Structure 1
């Protein structure tokens, strides 16, 4: 998938701000969630996406996961996604990732 394709799909996500250097922010502070990231490509296709997100409350984390599902769907079928958790460098599917994020007591993850 090209950066142009991703940019076009990001436009459909209300409130997401995308820059052509690949950086983006999607947030609603009053609802308690924020996603920041960078899409990296090689000039022809997306190589990977670096994401950082936080939810400041249980409700904020729930909304964060809803937004992440919408964001991830830009890149393809949710069932085919593999996510690497940094710094422990473990691969997870979306279901495992959601379980870890939603079960944590940490406001930032």
Structure 2
């Protein structure tokens, strides 16, 4: 199933002070494990495959990833594979929270809500 074209920001929360639980370098390492992904040292990347293409940019400060910008079109399976690059698991075994700001509307959505719009 293909997602429609999207332009979003991923972050750990809706407040400016919410940061993701991984560093720029950790995100870069995880992204580099995806086949056909090209990563630039400035944090920009493109991931393309049969029928999909996603452009992205990592934004970090103070040693932590602040948010990720994603734009493109892909399958739901590819989307979820990409999102897993930014998810961490804490000592209690809980996955980190990711929220989505849909652009240009600047509308916040929970990750599962954003994904469910394309499953129905």
TM norm structure 2? 0.68
CA distance in 1, matches of 2:106, 2:119: 19
Larger relative contact order, structure 1 or 2 (CA cutoff 8 Å, min sep 6): 2
More strand, by proportion: 2
Provide runs of 4+ in structure 1 moved above 2 Å.
Answer: 77-80, 99-103
Picking from 67, 70, 73, the partner of 2:84 is 73
More helix, by proportion: 1
1:85-96 equivalences under 5 Å are 85-96=102-113
Give the gaps of 5 or more residues in structure 2.
Answer: 1-21, 89-94
For residues 16-74 of structure 1, what are the alpha-carbon distances to aligned partners after superposition, in whole Å with 9 as ceiling and x for unaligned?
A: 1111100000012xx321100100112511111111012xxxxxx5xx22111111111
The answer on whether the counterparts of 1:2 and 1:41 sit within 8 Å (CA) in structure 2 is yes
Give the gaps of 5 or more residues in structure 1.
Answer: 55-60, 104-109
CA distance in 2, matches of 1:79, 1:22: 21
Aligned residues: 93
Instruction: State the Cα distance separating 1:79 from its structure 2 match.
Output: 7.2
